[in-house]
Chain A
Amino acid sequence: MEFFRIKKDIPFMRNALVLNAISFITFIAAVFFLFHKGLNLSIEFTGGTVIEVQYEQTAELENIRNSLAGLGYGEVNVQNFGSSRDVMIRLPLIKNPDGSIMSSADQSSSVMGKLKEAQSQVKLQRVEYVGPQVGEELLYGGIKALLFVVVGIVIYLSIRFEWKFALAGIIANLHDVVIILGFFAFFQWEFSLSVLAAVLAVLGYSVNESVVIFDRIRENFRRFRKLNTPDIIDSAITSTISRTIITHGSTQMMVLAMLLFGGATLHYFAVALTIGILFGIYSSVFVAAAIAMWLGVQREDLIKQDSKANKDQAKTEDPNFGAQV
């Protein structure tokens, strides 16, 4: 069986402007929502308490809200979680009268007390408390990790190809990251640590697709000396697109299984991966190559490097030398 048997090169680069306009608009929209609505950061980043409880029958959220309002905890967020019987209660950090932060155990026990008052068969499922200091650390840890990935990938691609490809590759894939964040801002989905992990994992994963295309571009520069740059890129994308879609598709199957069967805990993790994988195909194929073209990649950039490598005798040592994919 074979899904894609394309005989003629598809003129992607002729439409590069349109394709990039689309992704530019999506990008701007994502940035807009990020600033306008902001991310709905989980308590892992903001500090606070999450309490999950389970009722035997359908939980009446309004009653729960009313009984918790009496505690004077300020903005208490009560919502269903997974099923109608499961309720998630989010509390902000609360200060005691003496200025110290109220401990999680006190908080959760007073909440449970209130809930039991109203309905005795409520069951405590999960408590999560993150102090303000830890939240801040996790946030900075996340930002550092993102920077580390970006710098690491740029360095790797610069060594592997050259800076124009590195720049194009990272712009294309950071654009995916911003779009994932945009989705989370727009729908106000909860952005937790596991979503961050998904974002970084998918960033490392989809850069690889750009690498595949860049590899093929380099190979084509060697093989077709008469073609101009856009034609070479077109041919490279056309010949790799089948594989791009099948690899991403099979990864997506696994992610889909997590989305469908993984339950509430894995839900947003899988959602972030899904968006990342779908936009990863798009951006690697259309955006990265086009940016590289506009940055002015030419035959000399890649071929010259090779001749230098020949002189250095690095040829035999480099496992990727002359790699053709």
Chain B
Amino acid sequence: MNRYPLWKYIVIVVALIIAIVYSVPNLFGEVPAIQIAPARSTLKLDPKLLEKVDSALKSADLLKSQLGYEDSSSEGVIRIRFNDTDSQLKAKDIIEKAINPDISNPDYIVALSLLSNTPKSLTSINALPMPLGLDLRGGVYFLLKVDMQGAIDKKLNALASDARGRLRDKTIRYQSIEKTNGKMTIKFANAEDAQKAKDLLIESIPDMSFQLEKLVEGSQLVGTFKPAAIKATQENALKQNIITLNKRVNELAVKEPVIQKQGIDRIVVQLPGVQDTARAKDIIGRTATLEARLADPVQPYIGLQDNPPLGMDAFKFGDRQGVFKKSIIITGDRIIDASAGFDQNQRPSVNLTLDAAGGRAMQEMTRENLQKPMGMILFEKGKGEVLTIATIQGEFSSKFQITGQPTTQSANDLALLLRAGSLAAPMEIIEERTIGPSLGAENIEKGFKSLIYGFTAIAIFMIVYYMMFGLFSVLALAVNLLLLISVLSMLQATLSLPGIAAMALALGMAIDSNVLINERIREELRQGVGPQLAISTGFEKAWATIFDSNVTTLIAGLALLAFGSGPIKGFAIVHCLGILTSMFSAVFFSRGLVNLWYGAKKKLQSVSIG
């Protein structure tokens, strides 16, 4: 009766093999590495750079254990592994010299980092170590809230100026346009104009719905955002802010930054290893500014070493400099949207939309400066870099195109850079956690120490108290830990200190199931039931209680998962998974062990259960 069919043993063996394969990567540790990222948003990593690095390392005779080119996110990051910290440090100096001709103004950021040493055969099947949370390796965590009202207001401004222009174009007379509480109210002297305006605007501004209202004198048209448009605006604002943050964080040369949206208006930024919060905060909160200026019509380009003429500014533009007048036409915050597209001749172009004030400034300027060059300059860290210089072909205001981009890709890049000039909506930091690296190491050590000591204490007690069955229970508990670690690694759940605590607690609670089984078997034996029958009824009768206890614990775990946040979520995930894995290990697996040991013995006289 205490026999498993073969397939059950196969299930156990397969589960164990998978569990071992997926938990093993956590043992490999990390190797020193060097990470190269572009210092400015205008630079990209290309294979040529890789060759440069390669030859520099070869000439220095540095044994490199691996060279890999990774294109992570929009910007690529090159990561190179090294055997030891010594060669890593040496290589850093050599690489820096090779790819940054001007050290005071580096093109690329070369940073030391650590990479997981898991063999390729494991990483290729996605067997990766659990990422460590900030509380275990030190770093900075920010929770930012995007001011969605700000984004909506910005959009409303743009639409109002759009409406104004369209009404003017069609010579529909209106008295005023007001913007209040996310609504646009246009007043008309008579109902006829209002009706005409309504027909026009419904067609041309699909983001809003318009309502005609009769007033004592004349009528008014009230435009409100469609829910879908609000959602789209918010999503765009969030997306754009995340893109901007990504670019800024790249600058910090952090090992593995995490920038994620959370909910509808929040962004989580995690910067492992960053110690200087003030600087990190400064960079995250900084606004890169974009300026549109007129270029020098006489000599728009000069060499890199040349000085600009009197009363002009020069900024880097590829391998030369662009010369600009000092006065600014518009700044980046006037830009509502920039997107890549095609002009009427099917050439790649960037389509820009400015707000009303920007449009007016642009119109005045273009009227007077036809056929003259104009440029866009992006300022980051106080240094300007020219994005584009184009000739003004005609008078335009709030909507225009920039052509002259050789490819669609470069048009896309330019659009991205123009957008990145400003955040879509202001953000504020609403939560921050900083943990020093030594504290992180201490946390990990203390967490695992308590896990190991607790496990050992339970193991000794179980074996002394329940003898052979105690040993089975301890083995089941070890399997539980193995399963839990492997499932967490498969899910790539971030391991934090609360997670380790949950792991310890899960083991402490999982042993309950085995205690229940063992006690029940003992009870049956005391009542004079034969050993084989006692084992089988013991397992059967304990199952109901184990199930109950796990359901109530799971209810608590799910509540924490649903309503908890941050560190509590990490705790809850491990807690819930621990309950599920314990069902397998404590009941299914330990029964398998018992069956294997005692099941085949036909004339079993006694069992070792203390």
The residues of A with any CB-CB pair to B shorter than 8 Å are 1-2, 52, 103-105, 108-109, 123-131, 133-134, 137-138, 141-142, 144-146, 148-149, 152-153, 156, 160, 193-194, 196-197, 200-201, 203-205, 207-208, 211-212, 215, 239, 242-243, 246-247, 250-258, 260-263, 265-266, 269, 273, 319-320, 323-325
Contact = CB atoms under 8 A, between A and B. Distances in A.
Contact of B458 (A212, A250, A263): A250
A142 B562 CA distance: 10
Given A131-B429, A250-B515, 15 more contacts: A1-B610, A108-B277, A125-B436, A126-B439, A129-B432, A212-B545, A247-B516, A250-B461, A253-B461, A254-B454, A254-B504, A257-B454, A320-B547, A323-B543, A324-B541
Interface stretch (B150-158, B230-238, B414-422, B442-450): B442-450
A253 B523 CA distance: 24
A127 B276 CA distance: 11
Contact of B559 (A145, A247, A263): A145
B545 A256 contact: no
Nearest to B520: A325
The 5 A-B residue pairs with the shortest CB-CB distance in the complex, in nearest-first order: A204-B556, A323-B544, A254-B508, A257-B454, A208-B549
B534 to A, nearest CB: 14
B contact face: mostly helix, strand, loop, or mixed: helix
B572 interface: yes
B189 interface: no
B497 interface: yes
Given A129-B431, A243-B516, A254 B547 contact: no
Contact of A194 (B461, B462, B571): B571
18 contacts: A108-B277, A108-B278, A126-B439, A130-B431, A138-B565, A141-B564, A148-B555, A156-B551, A208-B548, A247-B516, A251-B505, A251-B509, A253-B461, A254-B505, A255-B454, A257-B450, A257-B457, A257-B504
B515 A128 contact: no
B450 A320 contact: no
A52 B442 CA distance: 14
B501 A269 contact: yes
Given A201-B556, A247-B516, A124 B436 contact: yes
A131 B430 contact: yes
Contact of B556 (A108, A124, A203): A203
Interface residues of B, number: 80
B568 A126 contact: no
B431 A201 contact: no
Contacts of A104: 277, 429, 432
Nearest to B457: A253
Interface string B168-188: 000000000000000000000
Contacts of A152: 555, 558-559
Contacts of A109: 278
Interface in B530-582: 541-545, 547-549, 551-560, 562-568, 571-572, 575
A260 B451 CA distance: 11
Nearest to A132: B430
Contacts, number: 244
B522 interface: yes
A260 B277 contact: no
Contacts of B241: none
Contacts of A257: 450-451, 453-454, 457, 504
A contact face: mostly helix, strand, loop, or mixed: helix
Contacts of A260: 450, 453
B597 interface: no
B275 to A, nearest CB: 8
A261 B564 contact: no
B449 A156 contact: no
Interface string B211-249: 000000000000000000000000000000000000000
Nearest to A262: B450
A208 B554 CA distance: 11
Contacts of A252: 508
Contacts of A269: 498, 501
Interface of B: 135, 143, 145, 275, 277-278, 281-282, 428-436, 438-439, 442-443, 446-447, 449-451, 453-455, 457-458, 461-462, 464-465, 497-498, 501, 504-505, 507-509, 511-512, 515-516, 519-520, 522-523, 541-545, 547-549, 551-560, 562-568, 571-572, 575, 610
B552 A153 contact: yes
Nearest to A248: B512
A128 B547 CA distance: 40
B436 A251 contact: no
Given A126-B439, A197-B568, A251-B512, A131 B504 contact: no
A261 to B, nearest CB: 4
B552 A205 contact: yes
A262 B541 contact: no
Contacts of B434: 108, 124, 126-128
Contacts of A319: 543-544, 547
Contact of A273 (B275, B505, B507): B505
A149 B505 contact: no
Contacts of B508: 250-255
Given A141-B564, A204-B552, A247-B515, A2 B439 contact: no
Contacts of A1: 464-465, 610
A156 B593 CA distance: 32
Contacts of A129: 429, 431-433
Nearest to A257: B454
Contacts of A255: 454, 504-505, 508
Given A145-B563, A205-B509, A134 B552 contact: no
Contacts of A52: 439
Nearest to A325: B545
A265 B135 CA distance: 10
A211 B555 contact: no
Contact of B544 (A134, A201, A261, A320): A320
A261 B450 contact: yes
A144 B547 contact: no
Nearest to A246: B515
A160 B433 CA distance: 44
Contacts of B433: 126-129
B435 A126 contact: yes
B435 A242 contact: no
A204 B562 contact: no
Contact of B541 (A146, A207, A263, A325): A325
B515 A243 contact: yes
A105 B557 contact: no
Contact of B512 (A105, A137, A247, A258): A247
A254 B504 CA distance: 6
A197 B429 contact: no
Nearest to A207: B552
Nearest to A269: B501
A320 B546 CA distance: 10
Contacts of A138: 565
Given A262-B446, A262-B447, A246 B519 contact: yes
A212 to B, nearest CB: 6
Given A126-B439, A129-B431, A247-B515, A266 B450 contact: yes
A129 B277 CA distance: 12
A156 B545 CA distance: 13
A103 B281 contact: yes
B555 A153 contact: yes
Contact of B519 (A160, A243, A256): A243
Contacts of A144: 559, 563
Contact of B507 (A130, A156, A204, A254): A254
A119 B465 CA distance: 55
Contacts of A2: 465, 522, 610
A197 B281 contact: no
A265 B443 contact: yes
Among the interface residues B428, B439, B501, which one has the most CB atoms of the partner chain A within 10 A? Answer: B501
B563 A148 contact: yes
Contacts of A239: 523
Given A1-B464, A263-B442, A325 B542 contact: yes
